[in-house]
């Protein structure tokens, strides 16, 4: 194991994460080539970079371990804060010693014209640290990414809020003889959905709200007050690794996808996608009809749908659709991993392509996502919505009611418009 290989791997993984959030990056090298320290700084200056990040693996005696991060002594406060945050994030991620922010006259820090940090990820000379460097390069990249993303004004909500809620769920389940990950996760998701998704229909689909909610509200007001802004009506977006998440929507939909393994035998369970994208799409069909009759009388149904679907104020907004898709994936490991861990694992490696594969393969029945057209995707959506799992289900009248505006069921033009607009979104992921 060589430092040059380890740090190149971490750097390229970090670059991919930043690129995925719209932050343009350049590498001083992408292969096993050598550049002098002066040349690295010169390249960064020529690019006009906003931030220079130099990634290293430290070395000392075998007993020394931990992480640290450097700036030049003349660096501004924001850069020094970033340095301290990066070392803290890595230490927290791996449970290793935080050697903290330090200052040094290193060439790459001295010669670069922009804010610059030098990250000593861990000690390659220590066997425990070396094992982390060799096996968990993506985790190093994720830890650094979070802090850089935050530095550029895109705050990443600390998942420690969900970690804390999960720990309390473990304690509650232990006190009440509720066994297994499934029980713990049901408590967590019931808390996250309890403000907005607790009406009679939701109780039928996913069961009653757990007493765990009152346990938290009564005994742990601090965590309740911290989480409430993210789960109430008109919620504040929850950010994980740069992804905006509607926590309550995500929680309710995830419960919907696993309802057959909770309170309902599969024979009577509502089809899982009803609580996710199917229910939201049905509501969108209703709204397209409404908009055609009231606000956009002279526009075609397709034009209306293209403006409405994924719109910020839509019942089928982008954040809703993304939560519906993510819930499919999260539900698959619901009984094996704690929900806070599922969130961390999912969003730390999520890409648009992965989202596309989740819904097209897992929910719409495609074998792969290659060579698909919008028409193919739209047809699959139609078959799902109007077939035996959708409006043709024994309880399909409930789903159809969602799609009905003042007694008027969707016309074929409305169906086509809604299905096509949703298909376009999935195709372009």
**Which of the residues are catalytic?**
120
Classify each residue of 18-29 as buried b or exposed e, where b means 16 or more C-beta atoms within 10 Å of its C-beta: beeeebebeebe
Q: Is 302 within 8 Å of 417 (Cβ atoms)?
A: yes
Residue at token pair 């982008």: 318
Quote the distance between the C-alpha of residue 207 and its chain's center.
Answer: 26
- Structural tokens at position 367: 């074998």
Distance CA 252, CA 167 (A): 20
Q: Is 114 within 8 Å of 49 (Cβ atoms)?
A: yes
β-strand 243-245 against 116-123: which pairing, if any?
A: unpaired
* 106: Cβ contacts below 8 Å, ≥ 6 apart: 37, 54, 70, 72, 118
Bridge partners (DSSP) of residue 69 are: 101, 119
User: Rounded to 5 degrees, what angle do the CA atoms 123, 126, 127 make?
Assistant: 125
- Structural tokens at position 399: 């789903």
- Concatenating the DSSP letter of every residue in 319-382 gives HHHHHHHHHHHHHTTTTTS-HHHHHHHHHHS--HHHHHHHHHHHTS--S-STT--HHHHHHHHH
- Concatenating the DSSP letter of every residue in 380-423 gives HHHHHHHSTTTTTSTTHHHHHHHT-BTTBPPPHHHHHHHHHHHH
Distance CA 153, CA 342 (A): 26
Distance CA 263, CA 8 (A): 49
Burial class (CB in 10 A: 0-12, 13-18, 19+), 152: middle
Distance CA 99, CA 102 (A): 8
Nearest to 213 by CA among 234, 185, 187, 237: 187
């Amino acid at each position: 194991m060589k430092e040059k290989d380890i740090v190149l791997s971490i750097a390229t993984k970090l670059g991919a994460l930043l690129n995925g959030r719209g932050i343009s990056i350049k590498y001083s090298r992408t292969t096993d080539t050598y550049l002098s320290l002066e040349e690295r700084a010169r390249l960064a200056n020529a690019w006009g970079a906003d931030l220079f990040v130099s990634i290293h693996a430290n070395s000392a005696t075998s007993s020394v371990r931990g992480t640290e991060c450097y700036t030049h002594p003349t660096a501004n406060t924001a850069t020094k804060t970033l340095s301290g945050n990066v070392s803290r994030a890595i230490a927290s991620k791996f449970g290793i010693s935080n050697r903290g922010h330090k200052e040094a006259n290193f060439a790459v820090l001295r010669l670069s014209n922009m804010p610059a940090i030098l990250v000593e990820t861990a000690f390659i000379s220590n066997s425990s640290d070396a094992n982390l460097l060799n096996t968990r390069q993506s985790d190093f990249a994720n830890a650094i990414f979070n802090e850089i993303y935050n530095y550029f004004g895109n705050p990443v909500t600390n998942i420690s809020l969900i970690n804390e809620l999960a720990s309390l769920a473990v304690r509650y389940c232990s006190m009440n003889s509720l066994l297994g990950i499934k029980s713990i996760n049901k408590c967590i998701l019931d808390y996250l959905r309890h403000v907005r998704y607790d009406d009679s229909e939701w109780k039928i689909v996913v069961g009653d709200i757990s007493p765990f909610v009152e346990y938290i509200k009564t005994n742990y007001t601090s965590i309740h007050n911290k989480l409430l802004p993210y789960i109430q009506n008109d919620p504040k977006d929850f950010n994980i690794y740069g992804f905006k998440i509607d926590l309550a929507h995500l929680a309710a939909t995830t419960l919907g996808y696993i309802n057959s393994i909770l309170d309902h035998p599969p024979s009577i369970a509502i089809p899982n996608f009803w609580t996710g994208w199917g229910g939201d799409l049905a509501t969108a069909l209703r709204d397209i009809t409404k908009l055609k009759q009231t606000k956009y009388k002279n526009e075609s149904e397709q034009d209306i749908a293209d403006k409405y679907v994924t719109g910020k104020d839509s019942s089928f907004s982008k954040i809703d659709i993304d939560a519906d898709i993510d819930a499919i994936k999260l539900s698959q490991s619901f009984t094996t991993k704690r929900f806070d861990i599922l969130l961390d694992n999912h969003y730390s490696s999520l890409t648009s392509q992965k989202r596309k594969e989740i819904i097209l393969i897992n929910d719409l029945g495609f074998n792969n996502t290659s060579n698909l057209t919008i028409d193919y995707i739209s047809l699959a959506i139609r078959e799902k919505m109007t077939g035996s799992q959708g409006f043709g289900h024994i309880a399909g009248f409930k789903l159809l009611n969602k799609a009905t505006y003042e007694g008027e069921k969707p016309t074929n033009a409305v169906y086509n418009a809604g299905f096509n607009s949703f298909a376009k979104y999935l195709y372009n992921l």
